[in-house]
Structures are given as C-alpha cells and as structure tokens.
Structure 1
C-alpha cells in the first residue's frame, strides 16, 4: 500500500508539471529526499530556490582597469535549500520544491541534496501552517496575495517595511536610519517597527519574527496564546528527539507563564530574543539557518519561543563558518546557546493595539 507521502507527491506533480515540455534549459525538480524508517504524517515542505553561490575573494587590494588575483569558491546556496539543509542536519527531513538549470551547477546541487515537494495551495486546503521567508525586499512584496494563508513570516527590518507598505497599499512606512557606529535601544527600535508589525498581523499573518541581525529577533503575535504555538509531534526519534529533550529541559516553557498571564488582555504580544556574540566569518547563511533551526525545532515538538532560541543559536553557528550551512551542528553547543538566548529573552514593552 503506497504511503501518504507518495500520494501527496503525485498530487503536487499534477499541479506543478506542465503537460507541454519547454526546452529552455531548466528542469522542474520533483524528487524525494532520503527518509528514515520513521516517516510520519505532517512532514515539513520548503518551496524556493537552489543555487550555486560564487564567493570571490581578492588576494591583493583592488586596482581599477586591471586584473586582480584572488580565489573563487563554489558554495551550495539558495535560501530555501539552505533552510532545508539546516533542518535536515538538526534531525528534520523536509520535502522541497525547486527548479534547477540543466547544467553543472544544477547537477552539483542535485548530487548533494535530494528533495521532494508539496504545493502551498495544498497546504492551505489541509489547514497546514505556512512559513513565509521574504528572501529580499523585492520578493517580500509578494505577501499581498497569500497573507491570509501565512502562519509565520520572518522579515528583516527592510523586508518588514516593504511588506507593510504593500499590504496597506501606501508608502507610509519608512526605513529606519541606523548609524553603523551607534546602535539604538531595543525599545526604541521596537516602537519604530511596531506600526509595520501591526499591519502584518491585521492582514492575517499569525506570528511575525522580525530578524534584527546583531540585535536579535522580535517575536510578535496578536496575543500570548498564539506565541505558545507548537506542533503536536508524538513520535520523537534520532537527532530531532535529542534536540527536543535537551531544549525542553534547559528552556522550560514555565519561564514566561507570569508574563503570559499579565499580557493576556493585550492585542499585541512581543518577546525580544537577543543575539549572542560570535566570531563572524561570513553572514551569508545566517538568516537561512535561523529559519531552518526554528522550523526543525517546531517539527521536533518545541514551542515557537523555544524554537526561535534554537534558530538564533543555529544562525550563530552559521556565521562562524565558511559555508552557508555548517557541515554539522554540535547539539551540545546549540543547546547551550539556546539556553542563554532563551534565558535572556524579555517582554519589556508596553504592548497595546493602536
């Protein structure tokens, strides 16, 4: 008897694969990732790009109008691919929808990562939570047509402003002028971004995680009950099960119980999670690993606040290495960092819906 995953794949392939073959050098990718024997309903799905990044580093100071010697490195990339790989290394095996060129880069990517897919239309019909990662300012504006189907969104500051302007059909929100030599307080930053966050929540997005780089993450929802969101995972095994057990023991959900009671009448609930100091090598995959680490944690059964702490810990590991996604994650390091982040998280703001 065919399993449910195969049935889902066949259903999606009918939506994705055109009956007319287009010979344009692109291949639509619909392949199944390697799963262990513990396959179950509700596997996560990542939809987006798989690309080969080219990192060029000059060996000498740049001189105009002449050749500059240096080194070029190929790095497996693409926001969706990075997120999916991060999830896989933290114990969650996602499916993936993507499209690749029929060339050297595409073959390298396929050799490294086998993936499978499920369309966001099917997710909406099944009442499945959907995470929208904006990727860029230009792409973030695509939220307009799907906002009511989105459970989570994870914009940075610029993407948040672009999304709020697109959803409100006005250009009333402006980017914050932040001096690179001085940082404004977390409270001031929140008050500046709060009106834009409210637009996203009012348009139907349930939870907004605003990524702030070195300033951490604002996790916002229309009420404290939503921020306690978690996925019911009754089967925990392998790395995913170990992650769940370690984080639950070191990041108890009871830590926020008092604050949740105090803020229960509020229409806007926010928690600030700080970032940890890191020995930065590259920033390319930090945001992708933040999302991947958070999703892997949710799929393991952790709640969204515990999961965000793990996501920030995964981002810290990413910036300290050369690749977009670390070759492996130390579960002990991730857990220790997540505990520090979770312990330092605060609800310091006066929160009310204007």
Structure 2
C-alpha cells in the first residue's frame, strides 16, 4: 500500500497520475468519505479547518448543538477557509458534512463517543458517532488538514493518582503534527498536571492574545502560564510553518481565551465543578462518560450560563482558527503538500455501483490506444416532447400520433451524438441513473461511444418534459436532473489521459459548478481549449463567477438572452434586444468587443435574426439563419446543439470560420425539420468543405 502521496506544483498531468494511485487504493480501503467541497479545497491548496463532532453528539443539547455547528462552520467560511466537520456515519469516516448530515447527527441518539481507541470497533460494526479531539486529529492528519478547531481539549483528570485517567487527546498531541485551536483545557480537569503532561509529550503550547496565561475554558485565566504566546494569526502560522519545516511530528496547541463578555466567575465555576464531581463519584461515573456528565451538571448548576459560554468560545475559536489556516495556506502556497495514507474517497466514488454487488469502473474497460478527437462532458436527458395543436395536445409525429414522443437528448448528449453522425469520434462523459431508463439510454444507440457513461446507484435518470407550441417553439418545460450533480471531479478524473490527448474539450452547464471550474483549470495546464455551451440563462454565467475568466475558455455560444446575463455579470453594456436583423448583429458585436479580450471566439445565436460570429483580432461576421419555411419547422429544441456540433466539426477539420458557420447552420436546419434533436439526416457528407 502507498504510504504517502506528494502533490506538488508540477504540471497538472503529473498530479493526475498521482491521484490515480489514490483512486486504486480507494477501492480497497473505502473507510473514508470526503465531501466534494473539502476535497476540491485540498486539491487546490485552499485553507481547510477540521472540526470535531462530539460537541454536537455529546457536548450540547438539541437544538443548540446543530445551531452552534452551523454557526461555527459559517464563521470558518467568513474568514476564507473551508470547514470540514468530521464524524463517523454507518461505519464510514466522513470528512465534511452536508447540512442534512449535520442535522441528522445532531438529532440522533445512542451515538458513540469515538476516540482513537474506538475507531476500529465503530468502523467494523458499522456504527455512528461523534469524533473526539484525538480521533479528529488523527483523521485530519490523514486527510492533509493541518488546522483543527475545538472548544477545549481533554486532559489529566482530577484524582489522577488513583484513577490514572488521562485523556487520549494529550498523547495524540504528542504524536500527530496537527495544530489544535481551543480555549485551553476544561476547568473540570487538573490544569497544572495537564500542562506538565503536554511538556513531557513535547507539545508546543501557545497562548493566543495579549496575555501569556493559559485559559481555562470558561475563564480566560487559570493561574498557570503558557510556555509561549502569539498575538496574531500570522505569528501563529509562522510557528506552525517552522514546525513543519524541520519535520517535527508533535502537535501544537494554541489556546484562545473565551470572549470577555461571556467569561464566567471563576469562583462560581469552581464551586459548580466541585458539586458536579461529588455527584459523579457518588453515581460511579468515570472514563469517557465523565466529561459530558460534568459539563451537563455545571450547565444546570449555572442555569445555562456555562452553555452560553461554550457556544461563544467555540465561535471565537473557529474565527481565529480559520484566520490561522488562511495565513498558513499562504506560506505553504509554493511548497509541496504531503498527504499520508491516501485511503479516503469522496462522496462520489469513481467506483460506482450500478446494481447491487456489481461495480462500474469507468476507465478499466476502454480499449487501449483509443484517442478521441474531442471529449464532451455534460447532461444526458430523456426528453418527452409534446406539441400543442389548436386547443388539444397531440404528438406532432405521424408515426407516433396519440403517444408521447420520447427521445434521448441533453445539450452535451446532442452535441456528442451530432458529432458522431458527422463522422467524428467523441468521448462522451455523463451520468445516468441505474433505473431502466438509464439502461435503455446506454443501449439506445450502438454507434454512440459509451465509455463515459456512469450509472449512479439510487438516482433516477434525468428526464425533461418539453411543451412546444404549434410552430414547434419552446413554451415551457419541467424536469428532474439531480443525477447531473454526480458529474463530479472524482468521476471525471479517470478520463484525464483521454482529455489530454484530445483536440478540444466541450462541456455544457449541467455539471456542478465546482466540476466546471476544475476542468477549466485542468485544461489550462493541459493546454486543451475549452468550448463552453451555455445551456440556459442561469448556467451561462458559471465560467464568470470567479474573479477571472478562465484562460482555457476559447469558445462560447450563447443566445441573446444568455449573452445579456453574461454581459451583466461582467458589468458590460447589454444588447439592445429591440433591434432586428443586422442592426441587432451590430449591437451584439459592439457589446462583445470587451469580452473578446478574455474569450477569443464568441458565437451568438440570434434565432430568426441569424448568427454573430466574433473572433479576436478580426472583423465580426454576420451569418444568416437557415432557410426554412416556418410552416415546416417541427421542433427547435435541438437546433442550437446541432449548430454547435457542426461548428465544432469544422474546427476539428481546420476549416475557416465561414465554413464552420455553414456546417453549423446546415446541421441546425436538419434538426428544425425533424422531431429527434439529432436526426438521421445529419451525415458525414454534410461536413465536406465548401
């Protein structure tokens, strides 16, 4: 088994080779499940903060626990870092939890308090629970997360001379190079002996703020001094970075005092603790059960004030911890990141179960030596098309009168299908459900390359019902396309070798935003141009949501409405849509001038008013619409996709812009005249240069 994997600043292609090793081992060791947002942040070397979950499962009552958990995550995000709450769910270690999983965890009962010692048992039995400081540190280290925020750590218990009760948190700090941000040790413990034990373990203990005094959880003072102190996140990051530079394996403990306004009266807290200790002893409570019991008792004795203090300090710790993580990320920006034992997988494991007991391995069955001209990524959709005629609804197809006309479509699927009909060899990447529709979709067209189809277990195949008016124009539609969210980074990675050998990468807007952004970055490093098909108004702006336009974006083909959304997002002048014909073309051309500085090729489809084709450094080209009698139009749903495929076919043949436009409009014309979005009348003969 690989014990370490190095992700460096070398070209992306070499990184993908390393990641493939990770995937292979993931199939054998799938105890870890990493949320996509966390995984993406780690890959991009963004700051990530680990959060423990016993504060949710054992530290606070419901619903305060879930409210606090969400506030803590939000505090991390507000500082520019990504939160990664860690827990065990049904025998799997989850690194990063969705809101739904957080809520389920907070409301559940009979959950295990999972320390390092308990991990093998809980995983082996398929149980669920909250991870303590020691378990969270171990997991964060394995995931490559250097900063961990909690409320307070465990320590040496009072009466240790007879009980020998010393928290595993302390030994974990002595052997795991994670930085723990906390408010010191809980004042129910023996603080003096805890600091002595940390010294024995070689742990660097640092007080954060103006004072060197070590905080005592509910109070900012304990009567004991920390060996070191820092006054800013930047100073704290310097210490962590220095530790890593010399290769020390010990943890660092940064103790942040509770906010002054929530600080408890030391005498009252100590009195409450003493009462709680006496009660615990009389009830025979000890071991890992004593801390949650004592906290609950102290909260009751203080009439809820200790719980308010607990919430306040964890929020502050999250803010400070995230700031430290951001500063540390800056220092590590040009250094290699080492991830030990890469045995975890994301939620969207590339080994997808299509049926119980069987696996779909997307890259294993592909013929060796196949090179695809173009790779197309995006949605596969089962379309149900209805045309309204007069006052009744009928199906506008003579051979299917009285039945709903069904076809297989989707923007990316149509483009890929059309390229196949034009004689090219596209690799199509998409997800389908493992239902009967998904199976039929894969079998439907034997000429369609299927290596990129990924059946997703437990999700329905995407469907879309389109209502057309009597002229074949779109009226409205409704669909379920949730399976497209599984077009994840992890599912696309096995195909990076294919993408690196292609001439062009085409994607529509159906994939999740993080996948779209990831592929723009990957194609930049691979020097592969990207064609982005805008799909709809909402998805058209996805390439423009970051603070820069991806340099790999070389072609974009919006319609007028989508173009307006893009221009608005870029804060550029919008098109005067009241114009027609060449006047509209001139308005579009003028508005796109500044866009050409960042996107070298812009194709705007203007419906009945034709096409505006703009290339950086050249005069804009007006191309008339296809010559079709409106009475002959059957459906407009596939015309834009076929236009894009025709133009792409011209690019692959190294044709001129005018020749590409001709191919695109001819393909669009044939689509307008038939019900299938990609009709059989589109053939390779169409693609001959003229």
The TM tier, using the shorter chain, reads: 0.5 to 0.7
Verify: 1:142 aligned to 2:542, yes or no: yes
More strand by share: 2
Quick one: structure 1 residues 332 and 47, their matched pair in 2 at CA, closer, same or farther if it must change by over 3 Å? Answer: closer
- Choose from 643, 659, 668 the match for 1:290: 643
- Choose from 566, 578, 594 the match for 1:163: 566
Quick one: structure 1 residues 315 and 60, their matched pair in 2 at CA, closer, same or farther if it must change by over 3 Å? Answer: closer
Q: Secondary structure at the match of 1:55?
A: strand
Quick one: structure 1 residues 195 and 312, their matched pair in 2 at CA, closer, same or farther if it must change by over 3 Å? Answer: same
In structure 2, the gaps of 5 or more residues are: 1-12, 24-38, 41-343, 394-400, 453-494, 500-518
- For 2:585, the equivalent position in structure 1 comes to 190
Trace 1:281-320 onto structure 2 (pairs within 5 A): 281-320=634-673
Contact 1:92–1:300 (8 Å) recurs in 2 = no
Residue 333 (structure 1) shift: 5.4
Contact 2:531–2:553 (8 Å) recurs in 1 = yes
Alpha-carbon distance in structure 2 between the residues aligned to 1:84 and 1:74: 18
Contact 1:26–1:100 (8 Å) recurs in 2 = no
- For 1:326, the equivalent position in structure 2 comes to 679
Alpha-carbon distance in structure 1 between the residues aligned to 2:652 and 2:368: 17
Q: Count matched residues.
A: 270
Normalised by the length of structure 1, the TM-score is: 0.65
Contact 2:663–2:686 (8 Å) recurs in 1 = no
Quick one: structure 1 residues 107 and 310, their matched pair in 2 at CA, closer, same or farther if it must change by over 3 Å? Answer: same
Runs of 4+ in 1 over 6 A off after TM superposition: 25-30, 34-38
- For 1:110, the equivalent position in structure 2 comes to 442
Alpha-carbon distance in structure 1 between the residues aligned to 2:665 and 2:21: 32
- For 2:403, the equivalent position in structure 1 comes to 71
Verify: 1:214 aligned to 2:544, yes or no: no
- Choose from 274, 278, 283 the match for 2:624: 274
* Bigger relative contact order (CA 8 A; separation at least 6): 1
Q: Secondary structure at the match of 1:208?
A: strand
Residue 73 (structure 1) shift: 1.5
Quick one: structure 1 residues 129 and 35, their matched pair in 2 at CA, closer, same or farther if it must change by over 3 Å? Answer: same
Q: Secondary structure at the match of 1:311?
A: helix
Verify: 1:128 aligned to 2:520, yes or no: no
Alpha-carbon distance in structure 2 between the residues aligned to 1:85 and 1:13: 33
- For 1:56, the equivalent position in structure 2 comes to 386
Alpha-carbon distance in structure 1 between the residues aligned to 2:22 and 2:589: 41
Alpha-carbon distance in structure 1 between the residues aligned to 2:672 and 2:20: 38
In structure 1, the gaps of 5 or more residues are: 64-68, 179-183, 225-268, 340-354
Quick one: structure 1 residues 296 and 43, their matched pair in 2 at CA, closer, same or farther if it must change by over 3 Å? Answer: same
Q: Secondary structure at the match of 2:419?
A: helix
Q: Secondary structure at the match of 1:135?
A: coil
Normalised by the length of structure 2, the TM-score is: 0.35
Task: For residues 62-96 of structure 1, give each alpha carbon's deviation from its aligned partner in whole angstroms, at most 9, with x where no partner exists.
Answer: 49xxxxx9431111010000000000111111112
Contact 1:134–1:154 (8 Å) recurs in 2 = yes
Residue 320 (structure 1) shift: 1.0
Contact 2:382–2:408 (8 Å) recurs in 1 = yes
Contact 1:281–1:322 (8 Å) recurs in 2 = yes
- For 2:578, the equivalent position in structure 1 comes to 177
Task: For residues 146-200 of structure 1, give each alpha carbon's deviation from its aligned partner in whole angstroms, at most 9, with x where no partner exists.
Answer: 54321011011111111111122x7x5266136xxxxx231x1123223431232
Quick one: structure 1 residues 35 and 101, their matched pair in 2 at CA, closer, same or farther if it must change by over 3 Å? Answer: closer
Root-mean-square deviation (CA, aligned residues, Å) is: 3.7
Residue 285 (structure 1) shift: 0.5
- Choose from 39, 45, 48 the match for 2:375: 45
Q: Secondary structure at the match of 1:71?
A: coil
Residue 271 (structure 1) shift: 0.8
Contact 2:554–2:601 (8 Å) recurs in 1 = yes
Quick one: structure 1 residues 332 and 189, their matched pair in 2 at CA, closer, same or farther if it must change by over 3 Å? Answer: same
